[in-house]
Chain A
């Protein structure tokens, strides 16, 4: 009887606990589900999508890319151009051409505590960015800034070390509030751990966007409320809560239970989960799939004697039916890539060679490359009897990539190419194998770029990673082509858009012919939006939808 009583007591307790009323849902609060918690809220330390997503509601850079993929002012008043005279080429002491670009901070811009945003903040931000020990994420921007000329409280001129086509882009210059952060920067080496963005995250003086952070539960949630000092369109919600749920199955259940209202497309469900969700619950939510700039591809190790031969690389892509992969696995929602350039980008060239499956051509190329004989196992061999066998690696545990990998393996097998799959945890794969070029054959992963982004780090021969350069750069394939090097240099400094278009087209053509990388597709993100929520506009580029959070609202 003792046990029965104890058991009954447990059940009774459970029932009592369960009897509490679920909190009433109100459209005054928007709860967004996201899979990752931002490690820091300091806009210039660590580069992380989760942080950009949250901070885009509370802070804005000087410039950014709008929903039509054009660069516009976010915090500045007028975008400087050579045409409007706010940008002027200038000769540098070393004879090179630099540029002086003049910006004016929005006259109404104030930090959340009422302190005006001024050139003092610009000077402080540049001081932090340039300091070698501060460890900011985009050091390149600060290295390019030669000098700052302060004109008044709001206007300033930056003297840059080169005149490039994106001379007016300050997309990663996120201002720091000097009146709060100056004291935390007293010891630059300690700034990362002393920044008020992490030690005093709810200080209103850190934010100036439509919302400001009012509550932070480490690892769990960040709460934002309207910022009274915001000068733009008044945001619609009394509270925006970013709730962190790392497991996507649990995230889905939370959405259905009403614990969260919306799953961030940028950091939410995977595409296959989104497709399955749309089938099951599509009538309750608006599910949109937006292909973007995340470029899934296979990096080839060109030091591998087999892959060194361009005929083998072409045979590899001709043996693949990438359209069938995207149709079968992703219901055609991930467009096949011809190169690293997304068709949504204006620099995309229609003349880029395209490859559809042609096993006969693939076979002929392999024959020509010396892989003519077939063994009893159906795998091709060369004159020395060596098998045409390659290793294919990706991040272990990434279900979508592992699925793609298996289809690639079976398609290549039909062409007589043996694929050995060896996967590693992301930490080892990216931390060691890819960075230090330890993959012997092919590595499947993705690049995230920006509109009209020069792939210098990935394709320029000076960025081939090696112990000599401390494994910096991202040319993991060890691709070296002098014409590509020249094109990359030329594109960066060509100011005429039409002339640049020609250079871009040539670069894409060489890329698709040389195939240092096998393009697969551009990843699509599923945005699962409740029917009452309006204004969310996925862009496809790197800027998250929260850059336009003030346009979000409740359907009337």
Chain B
């Protein structure tokens, strides 16, 4: 297993290196560079001035050369300055990342906590009234547009029944932990309602599949309790596809939720990435996108490790193992 993890970490490093070049090149292909933006704010800038500024900022050099300079500096811990925030990228990112971890982390934990029992219950009582209600709520959660849901929650809980703050991360002047938690309620609810539906559907589908297996019938015939069969034997096996889905969504977790963040004026990673791409903030866009890539790779590695834990037949150490 250790060898496997080291090998995967090596592969991940190569993927990140390749991605860094790809992202750098793609951003370089986008219309306009920082000097174009200077020209738009000072259209009288002469062509000679523009050319000189491009030289000063190194934008006149070939893309590969610029990338290599950036990569060398990045390896030394210098990821450059953010054009939009006029500060080093690594000074800006933590605030946004922390906000996203709070928002998305809470939403993720609540979604998974509710989705697993709900999905298992619905699968165990397939076609019951409970199953129908869960299905209905799941489809409603998946189908409802996030921006509309967010707006409705603001109107109901901040305008009609004014009990929760409509936006931001805290009250003016600071209001402590309780105040911060209250500001999280509506955005977390929005994201949770959206994600809970899909997670529940995955758990339910996986459980139904497992509950049809012969070994479940055998266990029940041998007199094992129904609850034990469902929660211990079936759930553990049903978790393999669920872990894949959860791992993939975990990768996107730290990239933020653009729409929810915009609706609730919540400064998170989604807005940071979007604004940096739209605002020609090369360094910030590059680092945030690479960060999202790294998190996705890490989440997938964790998922692979979880497979082995969930199903002892899976082994990464030798040729006799079964690869998922």
By a beta-carbon cutoff of 8 Å, the part of chain A in contact with chain B is 2-3, 6-7, 10, 14, 17-20, 22-23, 29, 31, 39-40, 42, 45-47, 132-133, 135-140, 143, 189, 192-193, 195, 198-199, 217-221, 223, 239, 241, 243-247, 249-250, 253-254, 256-259, 427-428, 430-432, 435, 457, 463, 468-474
Contacts and interface: CB of A to CB of B under 8 A. Distances in A.
Contacts of A243: 167-168, 265
A241 B86 contact: no
B56 A257 contact: no
Interface residues of B, number: 73
Contact of B154 (A220, A254, A470): A254
Interface string B179-195: 10110010001000000
B166 A20 contact: no
Nearest to A219: B267
Interface in B19-38: 30-32, 36, 38
B279 A6 contact: no
Contacts of B272: 219
Contacts of B86: 39-40, 42, 45, 192-193, 195, 198
Interface string B71-96: 00000000001011111100010011
Contact of B45 (A139, A249, A250, A258): A139
29 contacts: A6-B114, A10-B114, A17-B182, A18-B163, A29-B172, A139-B42, A192-B86, A218-B96, A220-B169, A223-B172, A246-B271, A247-B265, A250-B151, A250-B166, A253-B155, A259-B167, A427-B30, A427-B32, A427-B278, A431-B32, A432-B32, A435-B40, A457-B44, A469-B47, A471-B39, A472-B39, A472-B43, A472-B47, A473-B43
Contacts of A245: 167, 265
A220 B96 CA distance: 11
Interface of B: 30-32, 36, 38-47, 49-53, 56-57, 81, 83-88, 92, 95-96, 110, 113-114, 117-118, 121, 147, 150-151, 154-155, 157-159, 162-169, 171-173, 175, 178-179, 181-182, 185, 189, 262-265, 267, 271-272, 275, 278-279
Given A192-B86, A427-B32, A135 B38 contact: yes
Contacts of B46: 472
B47 A3 contact: no
A395 to B, nearest CB: 12
Given A192-B86, A220-B169, A472-B47, A10 B110 contact: yes
A428 B277 CA distance: 12
Given A6-B113, A257-B159, 6 more contacts: A198-B86, A221-B172, A249-B151, A250-B166, A427-B278, A474-B43
Contacts of A428: 31
A554 B38 CA distance: 40
Nearest to A41: B86
A22 B162 contact: yes
A133 B56 contact: yes
B85 A20 contact: no
A24 B242 CA distance: 46
B171 A258 contact: no
Contacts of A221: 168, 172
A258 B162 contact: yes
B155 A137 contact: no
Given A219-B271, A244-B265, A250-B167, A140 B88 contact: no
A135 B52 CA distance: 11
A137 B83 CA distance: 14
A336 B129 CA distance: 62
Contact of A435 (B36, B44, B95): B36
A220 B165 CA distance: 14
Nearest to A17: B185
Contact of A22 (B84, B110, B165, B275): B165
Nearest to B172: A241
Contact of B158 (A40, A192, A259, A472): A259
Given A6-B117, A132-B52, A435-B40, A472 B169 contact: no
The majority secondary structure among interface residues of chain A is mixed
Nearest to B259: A247
B262 A253 contact: no
A258 B41 CA distance: 36
A223 B87 CA distance: 20
A349 B233 CA distance: 86
A18 B28 CA distance: 47
A472 B50 contact: yes
Nearest to A6: B117
Which of A470, A473, A474 has most chain B Cβ within 10 Å? A470
B45 to A, nearest CB: 6
B282 to A, nearest CB: 14
A427 B157 contact: no
A2 B231 CA distance: 12
A138 B272 CA distance: 28
A254 B166 contact: yes
Contact of B167 (A2, A192, A223, A254): A254
Contacts of B56: 132-133, 189
Contacts of A471: 36, 39
A46 B179 CA distance: 35
Contact of B85 (A2, A218, A254): A218
Contacts of B167: 243, 245, 250, 254, 259
Nearest to A139: B42
Given A20-B178, A140-B42, A259 B84 contact: no
Nearest to A427: B278
A7 B95 contact: no
A18 to B, nearest CB: 4
Nearest to A425: B278
Given A39-B84, A220-B265, A253 B158 contact: yes
Contact of A472 (B45, B83, B164, B271): B45
A259 B165 contact: yes
Nearest to A42: B86
